[in-house]
Structure 1
Amino acid sequence: MKKNDYQVRFGLVVRKLRNKKNLTQEELASLCDLDRTYIGSVERGERNVSLINIHKIASALNIEVKELF
C-alpha cells in the first residue's frame, strides 16, 4: 500500500463519521479549530495529518482516536 493510500482511507473514514454526525465540513472544522479547507483536503486524502490534528478531529467527533483507523 502506498503512502497516499493511507491518507485516502483515513479521509474516507473522517468523511463517513462526519456525515454520520450530520456535520458539515465547516462545522467540523470549527469544532476542531481548523480551517474548512484543511478538513476538505483531509477528506480527499491530500494531507498527511499530524497526530495533534488527528486528536482534534477525534475529539470534535466525540470518538476515540482508534476509531479513525
Structure 2
Amino acid sequence: MGMNVGINEYTLAIITTNKNMQNGGGCPIFYADNEKDLQQKAMLMSKCVSGMVHEMTSGTLIVVKH
C-alpha cells in the first residue's frame, strides 16, 4: 500500500462582499458587489477547480479542495 503524501485539503479562494477584507496569507480574495455576484463567483470558481463552497460568515464564502 502506498502512502498518500501531500496537501489533501486546502483553501483555494475567498469570495466576499466585505471590501475591507485584506489578504494576510497566501489565499487570493475575490470581491463581490452583492449576494448574487458572491454566489455566482463562488459557483464558477468551484466548478473550475473541482472544489466545494463553504459559508464562513454572512457575505463571505471559501472554495476548498477536499
Bucket of the pairwise TM-score, normalised by the shorter protein: 0.3 to 0.5
Q: Which has the higher strand share?
A: 2
Taking structure 1 as the reference length, what is the TM-score of the superposition?
0.32
Structure whose alpha-carbon radius of gyration is higher: 2
Taking structure 2 as the reference length, what is the TM-score of the superposition?
0.33
